[in-house]
Structure 1
Amino acid sequence: MKLAHIVCAGVLLLAGGAAAQDGGKTAGDMAITKSTISLGTATPGGGFPVYGNAFAEVLNAADPTLSIEPRNTKGSSENIPLLETDGLDIALVAGEPSYEAFMGIGRAPTRLKILTAMYSSPGMFVVRADSPYKTIRDLVGQPVAFGAKGSGLPILSRYMLDGIGLKQDEDFKSIYLDRAGDGPAMVQDGRAAALWGAGIGWPGFKSMAESPGGARFIAPDAGEIAKVRAKHTFLKPLTVPANSYPNQPAAIDSIGSWSFVLARESLPDDVAYRLAKTLHGAEGALCKKLPQACETTAVNTAAAAPNVQLIHPGVLKYFREVGVVK
């Protein structure tokens, strides 16, 4: 028995020495492994890759055990099935495709979960400053770039136009882009009369507003907003604050929804918990990195989720611990 105790004491001493040589790490520290997480964004030139890159950079810096790797995709319409087949761990998805997937519109209800709300996306058109078009109805019959084929932007515009009695593919010469970044050049050289987009800090709007000739924005008026909301109640009244873009001195009222970072259903609870905790602690850093990401907060996530049960269980666990959700 004495020999056994001596052997055990020797093993413990050796273990303690190994820990000391490894910088004093505890057994718990040694057990932590780096989590590589794939993040689906969208086509280059749009808002999702800009956000996804900032999101990954800030969280990776905040938590060395995370390795979030952004990946360009075709956008929301591809991200949802990739998440559902575990082809991605997390992905950026616009509000309208998220809503349709959660509600089972045109498909079976998805089992994907919300990791965080990204930002609100008020939709509007942008035209050249010298354009004769002043209202949405002025654009009827004109070529309009409604966004990348796989993104959520054309879905938002379809709901908005339907609410005011217009059909996207019948009342307009609709253009769907292969790359989101191609839109501004098409408006500037006359191939398109207008470009549809959404959000604050959206690259297409920024590019148009900073162009030599300048740009103007066209959004639904108060009466049109009321009509849309009466028919499509999930859309929210949203505002683009004054000076969000160059030469935009007044606030612009519109409608839209919240975009989300969605997670595959099988994403482990502990990983989702770690992501939520890291993101909550890094909200300030993310806001400094990207203005539109200032809306990426735990409080906004709880408020923007159509149903709290759609939030990932690991995220909900953290939210309850910090009092964001009761």
Structure 2
Amino acid sequence: MRHVGRRPLLAALPGLALVSATAGAQQLPLKLGTATAGGGFPVYGAAFIKAIKAVDPTLVIEEVNTKGSTENVPLLEEGKLDLALVQGEVAQSVFFATDRPPTTLKVVTAMYASPGMFVVRADSRYRSIVDLKGQAIAWGARGSGLVILGRTVVDGIGLDAAKDFEPVYLERAGDGPAMVIDGQVAALWGGGVRWPGFVAVANSVHGARFIVPTAGEIDRIVAKHGFLRRLTLPAGMYRGQDEALPTVGSWSFVLARAGLPDSVGRRLAAALDNVERSGAHAQQLSETTAKNTLAALPRPDTLQPGVAAYYREIKLLP
């Protein structure tokens, strides 16, 4: 394979040491599982791969489109993927499972927090979650962790996603926005900052309105599901969204298979740290930081050992 442009990359990141081109090279390319086209995971995965390539060109990562979080976990555990994007609720269920052996998967980095909410057309009559009862809701692709988040959120206020709504599950995450725009469904469930599905509805001719739990509903949700976090979507993330939106959600992670060499884990951590320090990261990676990773870890022992070693080198861990 021919590698081009190493000197310009070095010049663009003065003072940032590139990771050794030979360390862990025998394990490459790495396979990164994302999700179906049109959702947030493929967008994040592409930004993740591009950012790492910019500071460590020999750390080759190939994106693999999957059905999403619920497929990514078994593929990681079977060794068919090296890395995968996994939504928060699925990660929690893996690390704290009571009906299966403890997982050997490890956290490479926190991706981003996913503030969960519904989007409807701005000209619709729907203004609360209760207003959506009995309506057709596009919950997402069946394998998506966002579907689990949605079920968990409405369960927290005493509703059943399957019984109190007319659930619609998608073959591709990208199909949801069009269904809202043309009126096939009342709302689309999703989460995240600049989530592609929300961007598409907000930028449509009809515009968008976002529906989040009320303050009282948020209290009930976190009381019942303590692993969910109180999150706020800042104002201005979507066209027409002029106010910050308080809601609930969780952190998604890049997980690694068991046996991923520590040298590779360290290279990943070093590359991401260099990207963070350079300030040149894409918007999708703005929350992908070492400090966020440590704060969001399900447990301290879930951090990939090579990543932990790098964090010790930069004095984030003792």
Q: Structure 2 length normalisation: TM-score?
A: 0.91
Does 1:149 find its partner at 2:162?
no
CA distance in 1, matches of 2:227, 2:98: 13
Does 1:197 find its partner at 2:175?
no
Superposed displacement of residue 30, structure 1: 7.0
> Which runs of 5 or more structure 1 residues have no equivalent in the other structure?
1-27
Root-mean-square deviation (Å)? 1.5
On the 8 A contact 2:141/2:171 being kept in 1, the answer is yes
Give the equivalent residue in structure 1 for 2:242. Answer: 249
**Shift in alpha-carbon separation, 1:125–1:75, aligned structure 2, 3 A:** same
Return the index of the structure with the highest Cα Rg: 1
More helix by share: 1
Partner secondary structure for residue 91 of structure 1: strand
Superposed displacement of residue 139, structure 1: 0.4
Give the equivalent residue in structure 1 for 2:75. Answer: 82
Partner secondary structure for residue 111 of structure 2: strand
Superposed displacement of residue 188, structure 1: 1.0
Does 1:320 find its partner at 2:299?
no
**Shift in alpha-carbon separation, 1:288–1:246, aligned structure 2, 3 A:** farther
**Which residue among 104, 111, 120 is the counterpart of 1:118?**
111
Q: What amino acid maps onto 1:317 in structure 2?
A: A
Superposed displacement of residue 291, structure 1: 1.7
**Which residue among 159, 178, 183 is the counterpart of 1:166?**
159
Superposed displacement of residue 107, structure 1: 3.7
Q: Give the alignment of 1:205-244 within 5 angstroms.
A: 205-244=198-237
CA distance in 2, matches of 1:106, 1:164: 26
Q: What amino acid maps onto 1:200 in structure 2?
A: V
Partner secondary structure for residue 116 of structure 1: strand
User: Residues 76-97 of structure 1, C-alpha deviation per residue, up to 9 Å, x if partnerless?
Assistant: 0110000000000000000000
Superposed displacement of residue 64, structure 1: 1.9
Give the equivalent residue in structure 1 for 2:42. Answer: 49
On the 8 A contact 1:161/1:168 being kept in 2, the answer is yes
Give the equivalent residue in structure 1 for 2:3. Answer: none
Q: What amino acid maps onto 2:179 in structure 1?
A: M
CA distance in 2, matches of 1:107, 1:218: 36
Q: What amino acid maps onto 1:50 in structure 2?
A: V
**Which residue among 104, 123, 127 is the counterpart of 1:134?**
127
Superposed displacement of residue 108, structure 1: 3.4
CA distance in 2, matches of 1:245, 1:134: 17
Superposed displacement of residue 213, structure 1: 1.0
On the 8 A contact 2:38/2:174 being kept in 1, the answer is yes
Superposed displacement of residue 247, structure 1: 0.8
Answer with 29-38 or 70-79: which moved more: 29-38
On the 8 A contact 1:101/1:108 being kept in 2, the answer is no
**Shift in alpha-carbon separation, 1:141–1:319, aligned structure 2, 3 A:** same
CA distance in 1, matches of 2:280, 2:172: 27
Does 1:293 find its partner at 2:285?
yes
Superposed displacement of residue 290, structure 1: 2.9
Does 1:261 find its partner at 2:237?
no
CA distance in 1, matches of 2:286, 2:131: 34
On the 8 A contact 2:21/2:58 being kept in 1, the answer is no
> Which runs of 5 or more structure 2 residues have no equivalent in the other structure?
1-19
Runs of 4+ aligned residues of structure 1 deviating over 6 Å after TM superposition are 28-32
User: Residues 256-303 of structure 1, C-alpha deviation per residue, up to 9 Å, x if partnerless?
Assistant: 000000000110111101111111101256x64532310000111011
Q: What amino acid maps onto 1:186 in structure 2?
A: M
Identity %: 56
CA distance in 2, matches of 1:36, 1:243: 38
CA distance in 2, matches of 1:108, 1:214: 47
**Which residue among 56, 81, 85 is the counterpart of 1:63?**
56
